[in-house]
Structure 1
């Protein structure tokens, strides 16, 4: 412990003897360090926080999923620091004063991109920060510039969501309208070609579709008509046989007009009126049969005269006659339709034989029409979907922005931290001065104590002579001590002055 104390005393003595060297080194290092710190421009940082609210009711109903809305947020975040947006920020702030050419604008944009940060703090919370440290600007200008950059970024953040979506939707709708108009014209032309083809080849055949399917349908209808015709003819033969063996009248009271032709005509007209009341059309088989009977009985009623025939008409005979007329009408209608179908099938078969490419032409026309129809329907659906999405995004604000913290007005520079740096330089300079004095003392070949001299030489030290200090030397030493104190005090005063200037500059930043 005594040895350690002795070494400490020796070190302090060496430093004290070289105190001027320590003070000079401290002054030199402080001046250099403080000058470097003074040349570093202050950096002022402004921050703002934005909350992005995703609407989850109506957008989902029209197909705008949460992933789509999150992609919108990511897109806005990525394009916020695009060159176009940063050029707008430069033009709207005091950075525009530094721009004289396009090259200057590009330099400012690159520098601005490095000092802007967009950080996602949470799922829907973003922090926008910007730093300003322009060497040619004052502290107040840099602080104002940082806040202005963040404010313009917020404005662009909102504009990118509103106008960007509207412009994109407008362009999409314009494109879809143009495509729809062109597809509509192509579809009308294809439909016209289809109609002309059907009028030329397929207008007389039943059903829809290709030639083969229509011919198959016509043959199926023809087969059914032939069966109906056979049944009607068989029934007609049986009814005519029964009608031939049935007497038209029955013995009755002379002069009674119940079985006259006029009364039958009246009865048939009443039945025709009932059929019309039921909603039967003129094409109904019963209506056709009644009209045929009425047309046949009218000449007989005219020849019968007002008195009527004698005897009572046979109801069975009248019923059989009506049924015969009905079957005759059915046979006639079926025969006409059968003949028409036979003629149409024969005509189309002959056309197929003479023009073998008809089926291929129809298939090509149908294919073209179906392709155009699907494209048109898809484009129409897409246009309505885009229009609805545009209305939802622009009118209901599927993504809303809310500024939680407006851009802060910085009063204290974020860097450099001058009070800490000034203090650190002061203590580092003092430590460096003391260290330099100590090292310099170690390099000199002097012996501060008798024990050190005896330990190094290995010879016994017989004695030592104390320094004799005269009054003149004492006065001179006091003078030097005052100078040393003045130098140290000046160093401390310089440090205090720099600190005062720093805090005064901070107070001037509004």
Structure 2
């Protein structure tokens, strides 16, 4: 412990013996450091809070979905500090002189972009901070410019938003109109190409809308319905034929005059005419309708023969038979129509299938053209809907303010610099000067070989030291020492006084800004 104390005393003595070096180094470091601190311009910050509210006048579909409002706020956040707006701010606040070059404009815009921060606090509330530290301006001018930049930025932003809604709507309509014109042109080209393809392959492509595969599916679906309807109609016709066969065509009315004779012959003639008509339609003798009508003709011939022989009474036409005959004729027509439609559908399906088998490339190309047409038509209809939405949005923004900009907190007027902390820097420079002087003196003592104590000389030489002689100070020497000590104290006091004077000047300068 004693050796450590001795070492401390030795180090302190070595520094004290070089006290003038300590003072000189301290003065040099402090002067240079204080000049460097003085060259740093004071930075003044101004803050403001802005509310940007997007009016939800249109439904979500017209606003671009539920995220339309948030996306619009993100765009506002990006355009708030755009280069165009900042250039207007630089001109308004005087940062750019009249007739400035493009390089000067770019420099001013870059400086403002670096020193203006937009911090979102909520979805539609922004805190804007401007920091100004221009060395060529005084502190009062820097403080005034910090708040002036925010004032000008908010004013420019408001004006831009008032005009931007209508301009964006017009630009959006113009863009959509060009897109619609392009789609319409492409749609017409596809229509012309499809018409030319159909004309070129008129014998290979069946008529009708849709691709061959779609038409085959539609024909098969309709054929299934026709077949079920035909089965039901044939069953109804067979039932009617059975009832008609068991129903007499005439009934004998006693006491009726012979004027009723010849009815069976008339019905026979009608049945024969109907048989001729069926054969004219191509029905064969094996057809159920031909067989039924032949049976009816045979029955009518027997009745006609009996009418020719005369009788005790007259015959009259059976009303039930006439009703059944009319019903049978109607159901026969239904069966014939369904059979014809079935034959037509079967023929169409066979024809389309044969064409697809014989010409697979033509069918595939036709399907591709139809698919391209369908896709372009869907895009065209979608663009028309979007254009109507943009037009409605533009009308709403014309009638009402679509974007509301409200200043929650006006730009603050800074009264003290935000940076640098000059009193702290001045103090640190003073401490660094004193520490540097002490370090220089101690380092010099370590470089130069000296032995402040007998024990250190003994350790360095390895020889015993008999004794040491203390310094004898004469009265004249004592007076000289006191005089130098006064000079040393004056130099140290002057250094501290200069530090205090710089602190006072700093606070006085801040008060002038306020």
**Scaled by the length of structure 1, what TM-score is found?**
0.60
Are 2:250 and 2:315, in contact at CA under 8 Å, matched by a contact in 1?
no
Once the two structures are superposed, residues 42-94 of structure 1 have per-residue CA deviations (whole angstroms, 9 ceiling, x without a partner) of 22233345577899998767796676766665565566555555545444443
Distance 1:24 1:454 in 2: 34
Name the counterpart of 2:180.
177
Once the two structures are superposed, residues 113-139 of structure 1 have per-residue CA deviations (whole angstroms, 9 ceiling, x without a partner) of 433444566787654433222222222
Name the counterpart of 2:423.
419
Written as runs of structure 1 = structure 2, the 5 A alignment for 1:7-46 is 21-46=21-46
Q: By how many angstroms is 1:21 displaced?
A: 4.8
Distance 2:228 2:21 in 1: 130
Distance 1:435 1:392 in 2: 75
Give the alignment partner of residue 475 of structure 2, picking from 443, 459, 468: 468
RMSD of Structure 2 on Structure 1 (CA)? 6.1
Q: Are residues 1:324 and 2:309 paired?
A: no
Name the counterpart of 1:494.
498
Q: Which moved more, 1:61-70 or 1:168-177?
A: 61-70
Give the alignment partner of residue 507 of structure 1, picking from 492, 499, 511: 511
Name the counterpart of 1:428.
432
Are 1:179 and 1:379, in contact at CA under 8 Å, matched by a contact in 2?
no
Once the two structures are superposed, residues 158-202 of structure 1 have per-residue CA deviations (whole angstroms, 9 ceiling, x without a partner) of 76896497577546643553356446656876998999989x975
- Pair 170,408 (structure 1): closer, same or farther in 2 beyond 3 Å: farther
Q: By how many angstroms is 1:467 displaced?
A: 0.8
Written as runs of structure 1 = structure 2, the 5 A alignment for 1:374-393 is 374-381=375-382, 383-384=384-385, 388=389
- Pair 98,130 (structure 1): closer, same or farther in 2 beyond 3 Å: farther
Gaps of 5+ in 2: 258-312
Name the counterpart of 1:246.
251
Name the counterpart of 1:210.
215
Once the two structures are superposed, residues 20-54 of structure 1 have per-residue CA deviations (whole angstroms, 9 ceiling, x without a partner) of 55444443333222212111122223334557789
Gaps of 5+ in 1: 254-310
- Pair 313,179 (structure 1): closer, same or farther in 2 beyond 3 Å: farther
Are 2:249 and 2:322, in contact at CA under 8 Å, matched by a contact in 1?
no
Distance 1:87 1:488 in 2: 52
- Pair 129,414 (structure 1): closer, same or farther in 2 beyond 3 Å: same
Distance 2:148 2:194 in 1: 62
SS in 1 for 2:136: coil
Are 1:90 and 1:108, in contact at CA under 8 Å, matched by a contact in 2?
yes
SS in 2 for 1:131: strand
SS in 2 for 1:47: strand
Distance 2:92 2:134 in 1: 16
**Scaled by the length of structure 2, what TM-score is found?**
0.59
SS in 2 for 1:97: coil
SS in 1 for 2:129: strand
- Pair 348,428 (structure 1): closer, same or farther in 2 beyond 3 Å: closer
Distance 1:99 1:115 in 2: 24
Distance 1:459 1:148 in 2: 81
Distance 1:389 1:490 in 2: 76
SS in 2 for 1:460: coil
- Pair 479,381 (structure 1): closer, same or farther in 2 beyond 3 Å: same
Are 2:49 and 2:409, in contact at CA under 8 Å, matched by a contact in 1?
yes
Q: Are residues 1:144 and 2:180 paired?
A: no
Q: By how many angstroms is 1:421 displaced?
A: 1.5
Written as runs of structure 1 = structure 2, the 5 A alignment for 1:13-92 is 21-49=21-49, 77=77, 83-84=83-84, 86-92=86-92
Distance 2:352 2:453 in 1: 137
Distance 1:447 1:223 in 2: 129
Distance 1:415 1:336 in 2: 99
Distance 1:6 1:353 in 2: 119
- Pair 88,376 (structure 1): closer, same or farther in 2 beyond 3 Å: farther
Distance 1:354 1:123 in 2: 63
- Pair 338,358 (structure 1): closer, same or farther in 2 beyond 3 Å: farther
Distance 1:479 1:493 in 2: 21
Q: By how many angstroms is 1:508 displaced?
A: 2.9
Q: By how many angstroms is 1:335 displaced?
A: 5.5
Distance 1:245 1:2 in 2: 158
